[in-house]
Structure formats: structure tokens, C-alpha cells
Amino acid sequence: MKKIGVYPGTFDPITYGHIDVIERSLKIVDKVIIAVSEFKRKDFLFTIEERIDLIKEVFKNNESVNVESFDGLLVDYLKKKNAKIIIRGLRAISDFDYEFQMVLINRKLNKDMETIFLMPREEYFYISSSIVKEIAKLNGDVSCFVPKNVEQALRKKFQGG
């Protein structure tokens, strides 16, 4: 049976840090489902469709990666996908506190789920979608943080082309 990992997030937008975590998780699982959250907890720059399209373009040549949207509880989504592994990226101690809470809650909701944490490589450790959006909004160069298609989409959002 294939090991399926689910990497949930908002991916607004996807960065090289996310991509690194996804690629490295494929050394542990056979398939990764990138589960793009529809949860309206915050304002998004990109629509759910735009975020999915950007990610699909990045992984278009990788059959081990699927991209889908999800809404609701993550544990319910994993059950629906017959997956038992949650993949999470960690950058800093501040991430760990929140992630630790989520692991305990998810474990309480479904004891069969496991969470694995992966740290991105050092050159991506400090990247966040929020910082990338801020740099792009101020007309800065984000080419070292995101793939070309994401860079172009950011430029279009902020500079109109």
C-alpha cells in the first residue's frame, strides 16, 4: 500500500521553502497531496483557483504530487483520502508552538494520524509567503524566493503586468 502524505496550507503563494519540504517529503512517502486550504481565516492575495493553478504548474512533471483544495477539519480530509501522514514545514521555534498544539489536537481527533516535520534547507529557512508578498508589493525582486510563474503572478497582482 502506498504511503500518502498530506501537506496542508494556504500557499498564498507557494515558495521555494514549501517546494523544498514537498520534494524532501517524497523521500518518506510515495505520494504527496498538497491540500490548499479554503478556510476563510485570513484575506488571501490569490483566489483558491489561482493558488491551485500556480502549484499545479510547479509540479506539472511530478506524478507523485497532487494538488487539491480542502475545507473543514484536516483529519476528516485525511480520512477521505485514505492518508495517515500530515506533512508540516518548520522554520523557527515560533512555528513549533503552534504546530505542537495542532499535532496534539489532531491526535486527539484521530489517533491513527501521524505528523512529520521537515525543515527547509538553510537557504529557504527564512522565507514566508507574507514576506514574499510584501517584497513584491514594494516592487522588489522575489525571483530567489518563488518560481517564475509565481513571480509573474505576483507582479501582475501588484503592478498590473
Look up residue 49 and give its amino acid: E
Burial of 77 per CB tally in 10 Å (0-12, 13-18, 19+):
buried
Contacts of 29 (CB under 8 A, 6+ apart): 3, 4, 5, 85, 87
Q: Is the bond into 8 cis (omega within 30 degrees of 0)?
A: no
Q: Which of 2, 42, 108, 111 is catalytic?
A: 42
Instruction: Mark whether 130 is an active-site residue.
Output: no
Active site residue 42: yes
18 is catalytic: yes
Q: Look at residues 78, 52, 75 and name the one whose alpha carbon lies nearest to residue 65.
A: 52
CA dist 66 and 47 (Å) reads 18
Q: Which of 31, 91, 107, 157 is catalytic?
A: 91
Is position 129 annotated as part of the catalytic site? yes
Which residues are known to be catalytic? Answer: 18, 42, 91, 129
